Structure 1
Amino acid sequence: MEQFQAGENMVLTWLDGGVTHMDGGAMFGVVPRPLWEKKYPPNEKHQIELRSDPVLIQTKERTILLESGIGRGRLSEKAMRNFGVTEESRVEESLQKLGLAPGDIDVVLMTHMHFDHACGLVKETADGPVPAFPNAEIWCTAVEWEEMKHPNIRSRNTYFKENWEPVAHQVKTFTDTYSPEPGITMIHTGGHSAGHAVLRLETEAGRFWHFADIMPTHAHQNVLWVLAYDDYPMDSIAAKQTYTAPAVEAGDWIFFYHDAVYRMIRWENVGRDIAGEVRRNK
């Protein structure tokens, strides 16, 4: 597992949340393949590898989980095939290596509740589905929670009642921003989904951003490179103009849930050159 000391009192650890493979064209929207495949090569099925690895944020005050992985035994064989799932979650095993258990998680921060982020909130047992992190508060935007419970004709393909009913009593919502503690802030952006949010960390070591699915990989740095999966692509572009472009230009650290190559990266020369990186160990 890769770790990064993000400040004197903050450690980031990437857990094993599983792997999906999505259509490359869909992941880069209207961007022509000859452009995007140079930055993020596809496989023989024209799919790109996308991790689903939650980030553990440990501070002196709390143990926080960002996203939840794709879970284990939570998808049908058809869904596994359609979403190109080649590995399911081993989050519990990852926590064990750190001397932790799922019950030690105080807060789960959800940027949004699409299946590849939210399936790991629930654990399948012989007695039925139960919360995977039984002692945690689960935070997402109010807009996202409402759509999770009442999906429309498009979003019902990714918002599953099996992912919210067992944990409904744990969920808490916010409107614009939420801070579980000083220096950690969730910000509602919309775009990828109406309730999509991003995360900003601020420590004495600098600023760190998790842009979730408005910048799922390092190859999505360009503000116009947005997903065909985005429900509101113009809102994604606006959010990238507001948050991602300034972060890139400032040389802030940007960390990822989906990237198969980098865990974290920061650029210099207005995003032209890599100034620092944490690569995923294969």
Structure 2
Amino acid sequence: MEELYFLNDGTYELDSGAYFGIVPKVLWSRYFHDRENKIRIGTNIPFLRLNNKNIIIDAGIGDNFSDRFRKIFRPEKERDISISLVRDYHVKSIDHIILSHMHFDHNGHIFSGNPIFRNSQIVMQEKELKAFRHPNDFTRGSYIPGRIYGEIKTLTGSRKINGNVTAINTGGHTEGHMVIIFEVNSKKYMYGGDLFPSWFHIKPYYITAIDSYPIETLKMKKKLLKKAIRENISIVFNHDRENVMAKIYGTPEKPEIEFQK
């Protein structure tokens, strides 16, 4: 049995300039509204049942917020994903957590110690784990330290994780950033991580200001868009509050979007 669901681990506020980068406000404000120069964004998490394994891609924002974190990011939750997994999907434990990268809004539940996550295998790039453990002046604000529960498995470069899931080491947003391509019931999906945080970021040069290596991001986005168009792959947007995924048409330079439910 192969199943795919989308979970939401809440929302938080991010500086609008950080989210939209060099894109002028006159362009993005047609579709998004900020408050006090901040944009509220989501945390969409694919939950897969494959080969009798429970898998989540990224681990949300978590539930352990300091007063300083709350003041800066103003997190809001209707329901934690741990509650959704137990009540809605009758999950006792997650077997694998695949992390696109280790920024605080993608790895939250690996620190929670919640029984549903604490024995998971956590998959990430080796370079990303090193960046998390040894942040520099630019990255320190995005990597929040904490005790990791579960078994860490590091990857070196792009590789197939199992028959249905492939990790592509893209770099760009972070040195060890990954995009995850997976197949469920003969349909292909691409979890874009923070290379494609929302539908608006589909254009190759619409890049967040948080990216450590924006030129790498630009090159990889074009490659991934070409692949998505050629292979009919749906792109999943992890931070989009309105649109979880879309099919891409046209060309990598001028992509066209068809939203999907």
Match in the other structure for 2:192: 211
User: Which 10-residue stretch deviates more, 196-205 or 216-225?
Assistant: 196-205
For 1:31 and 1:249, locate their aligned partners in 2 and report how far apart those are by CA, in whole Å: 27
User: Which 10-residue stretch deviates more, 149-158 or 182-191?
Assistant: 149-158
Counterparts of 1:205-244 in structure 2 under 5 Å? 205-244=186-225
Match in the other structure for 2:134: 150
For 1:68 and 1:228, locate their aligned partners in 2 and report how far apart those are by CA, in whole Å: 22
For 1:180 and 1:62, locate their aligned partners in 2 and report how far apart those are by CA, in whole Å: 13
Match in the other structure for 1:98: 88
Compute the displacement of 1:269 (Å).
Answer: 4.0
Match in the other structure for 2:248: 267
For 1:94 and 1:133, locate their aligned partners in 2 and report how far apart those are by CA, in whole Å: 13
Q: Are 2:155 and 1:166 aligned?
A: no
> What stretches of structure 1 of length at least 5 have no aligned partner?
1-8, 124-128
Q: Matched residue pairs, number?
A: 259
For 2:87 and 2:225, locate their aligned partners in 1 and report how far apart those are by CA, in whole Å: 33
Q: Closer, same or farther in 2 for the Cα pair 1:235/1:173, shift >3 Å?
A: same
Amino acid aligned to 1:176: G
1:162-188 superposed Cα distances (whole Å, 9 cap, x missing partner): 1xx332x61110011243320210111
> What stretches of structure 2 of length at least 5 have no aligned partner?
none
User: Which 10-residue stretch deviates more, 218-227 or 14-23?
Assistant: 14-23
Amino acid aligned to 1:275: E
Match in the other structure for 2:111: 122
Moved segments of 4+, more than 6 Å: none
| TM-score, scaled relative to structure 1 | 0.84
For 2:120 and 2:175, locate their aligned partners in 1 and report how far apart those are by CA, in whole Å: 24
Match in the other structure for 2:60: 69
Percent sequence identity over aligned pairs: 27
For 1:139 and 1:83, locate their aligned partners in 2 and report how far apart those are by CA, in whole Å: 26
For 1:79 and 1:206, locate their aligned partners in 2 and report how far apart those are by CA, in whole Å: 38
For 1:115 and 1:18, locate their aligned partners in 2 and report how far apart those are by CA, in whole Å: 13
For 1:132 and 1:118, locate their aligned partners in 2 and report how far apart those are by CA, in whole Å: 15
Amino acid aligned to 1:105: I
Q: Are 2:13 and 1:11 aligned?
A: no
Amino acid aligned to 1:24: S
Match in the other structure for 2:179: 198
Secondary structure of the structure 2 residue equivalent to 1:157: coil
Q: Closer, same or farther in 2 for the Cα pair 1:159/1:170, shift >3 Å?
A: same
Compute the displacement of 1:85 (Å).
Answer: 1.7
Amino acid aligned to 2:59: S
Compute the displacement of 1:52 (Å).
Answer: 1.5
Compute the displacement of 1:132 (Å).
Answer: 5.7
| TM-score, scaled relative to structure 2 | 0.90
Secondary structure of the structure 1 residue equivalent to 2:107: helix
Match in the other structure for 1:37: 29
Q: Are 2:16 and 1:24 aligned?
A: yes
Amino acid aligned to 1:166: I
Q: Note if contact 1:26-1:227 (Cα within 8 Å) is conserved in structure 2.
A: yes
Amino acid aligned to 1:234: I
1:57-81 superposed Cα distances (whole Å, 9 cap, x missing partner): 1123311011111111x12122122
Amino acid aligned to 1:85: P
Compute the displacement of 1:204 (Å).
Answer: 5.7
Match in the other structure for 1:49: 40
Q: Closer, same or farther in 2 for the Cα pair 1:199/1:192, shift >3 Å?
A: same
Q: Are 2:76 and 1:86 aligned?
A: yes
